[in-house]
Structure 1
Amino acid sequence: MWIYLIGIIVELIILGFLSSRLTQLSFTVLMRLTHSRSISITILTIILFPGTVIHELSHLFTAEILGVHTGKLTLAPESIEAGEIQSGSVQVAVTDPFRRSLIGIAPTITGMITLSILSWYLSTQMYQVSGIKYQVLIVSIIYLIFTISNTMFTSKEDLKGVLPVALTLAIFAITFYISGIRIILPAQFATTIVTIIQTLAYYLAIAVAINLMGILVNTLLLLIFQKHHR
């Protein structure tokens, strides 16, 4: 189980890097095509809109579930900085660090679950359809994996308070481990947890592969543009 947990962490780090790079490349390609920053941002905003909706609603619903008051919800990204889309936002009242951390990381957790479901469907159910339905299904799922994986990561604002809570939990976990304290889960429940972790690790790899393909396509397009303008 620990190997798969480490694998998930590594995959998320890689996916975070790839999504930032892919956003940057996509914006550059759009700039080459439109020669307008505002038009490029608008197009990229539309492309990433489903992921933005999931991202912000994750914040909103988590805050409501935890009893934290919310305010204005914005779903329109307005800028791109350092390869990162400045996505929409939702106003959240000041709360304790623990609930703030859960609200902050909610889009990443929701994104992981959604990506796993989509990747599972892509790798198993797509063979049950044929013809134009098959093509539409494949393109739609790949598109959703692309847009969600590029909007699921928390921003610097979202991460406020996460580090202290994470360090506190890590200290408790290490203390329990050194003290010999173990939490024994029922066998069936433990098996289910291991299966979920293995599934996440496997299907997140598909999201990584799709982002790599996107980077390759955008890189080739930029090379074509450079060659054409020589």
Structure 2
Amino acid sequence: MLYVLLFFVELFLLFLLSRILTKSISYLLHWVLRSKAITVYIMGILFMPGTLVHEVSHYLMARFVFVPAGKLELVPHLDEHGVKLGSVAIAKTDPFRRVIIGVAPFLFGTAIILITLFYTAKDGIPNNPWQIFLIGYIVFEIGNTMFSSRKDMEGALELLLALLVVGVILYFIGIRLPDIDPKTVLPYWVQNIFKTGSMFLLVPLIIDVGIIALLKGIIAPFHKKHL
């Protein structure tokens, strides 16, 4: 059970680091270029592969749950929430399916990272520098674009409130969940998957920490000159 908790803690840390990383990159680009428009387009090009996977995940999940999906857009632009790197038109639906569609990039992205690193490590660490770079780039792209935006999670609050109301009603009418034994619910092989996954998730975490440290080192002199 410890590795299950560690797995989700690492995902949360990756979420925080991805936000810091994208802000640091956009800050540095804007500082150098002095143009919001150019900064947005460079960010769009830099994260385009990850953005494509993100939006295609929304599209595929929408089709899977029988919700009409329209045109996929990869042209970056600014909106009231900040930089928007891409979008896909999704028809209005119930909160449950909306949330499933919203978290699709997170599910697809996590799976892609783990599968990529699993097959890479299966035959040992590759010696080819280009192969290492390609794997690192895939992990970097997916790891920093797979998290759902505020708009992606529209309907999540309504769904949580509905589940809370149902839970309260069940509690007051005397229906209780049985005691759960983690070893029974999560067999050894499932726990082993989380153990392996938590080890693999260290890779995108280390990549992000390294890039953020590098960016901070580059940005720091600009701050000193400005002060």
Q: TM-score band (shorter)?
A: 0.7 to 0.9
The answer for the alignment partner of 1:101 in structure 2 is 99
2:178 counterpart of 1:180: yes
Letter of the 2:55 partner, please give it: E
Indicate which of 83, 87, 90 corresponds to 1:89: 87
The answer for the alignment partner of 1:223 in structure 2 is 220
Indicate which of 150, 156, 170 corresponds to 1:156: 150
Cα deviation code 1:177-228 (max 9, x no counterpart): 94426699999x8333222222222222221111111100111111244567
Q: Percent of counterpart pairs with the same letter?
A: 32
Contact conserved, 1:41 with 1:80, CA < 8 A, in 2?
no
The answer for the alignment partner of 2:205 in structure 1 is 208
User: Structure 1's 180 and 152: CA in aligned 2 closer, same or farther, altered over 3 A?
Assistant: same
The answer for the alignment partner of 2:60 in structure 1 is 61
The answer for the alignment partner of 2:111 in structure 1 is 113
Distance, in Å, in 1 between the alignment partners of 2:108 and 2:151 is: 18
Contact conserved, 1:101 with 1:160, CA < 8 A, in 2?
yes
The answer for the alignment partner of 2:11 in structure 1 is 12
2:45 counterpart of 1:46: yes
The answer for the alignment partner of 1:31 in structure 2 is 30
Letter of the 1:31 partner, please give it: H
Determine helix, strand or coil for the equivalent of 1:127.
Answer: coil
Contact conserved, 2:109 with 2:143, CA < 8 A, in 1?
yes
The answer for the alignment partner of 2:131 in structure 1 is 137
Distance, in Å, in 2 between the alignment partners of 1:53 and 1:45 is: 10
The answer for the alignment partner of 1:72 in structure 2 is 71
Cα deviation code 1:41-63 (max 9, x no counterpart): 11111110011001000000001
Contact conserved, 1:16 with 1:153, CA < 8 A, in 2?
yes
> How many residues align structurally?
222
Letter of the 2:4 partner, please give it: L
Letter of the 1:154 partner, please give it: S
User: Structure 1's 109 and 147: CA in aligned 2 closer, same or farther, altered over 3 A?
Assistant: same
Contact conserved, 1:23 with 1:85, CA < 8 A, in 2?
no
Determine helix, strand or coil for the equivalent of 2:66.
Answer: coil
Correspondence 1:184-203 to 2 at 5 A: 190-203=187-200
Q: Give the Å deviation of 1:163.
A: 3.6
User: Structure 1's 141 and 85: CA in aligned 2 closer, same or farther, altered over 3 A?
Assistant: farther
User: Structure 1's 197 and 158: CA in aligned 2 closer, same or farther, altered over 3 A?
Assistant: same
The answer for the alignment partner of 1:165 in structure 2 is 159
Distance, in Å, in 2 between the alignment partners of 1:114 and 1:218 is: 26
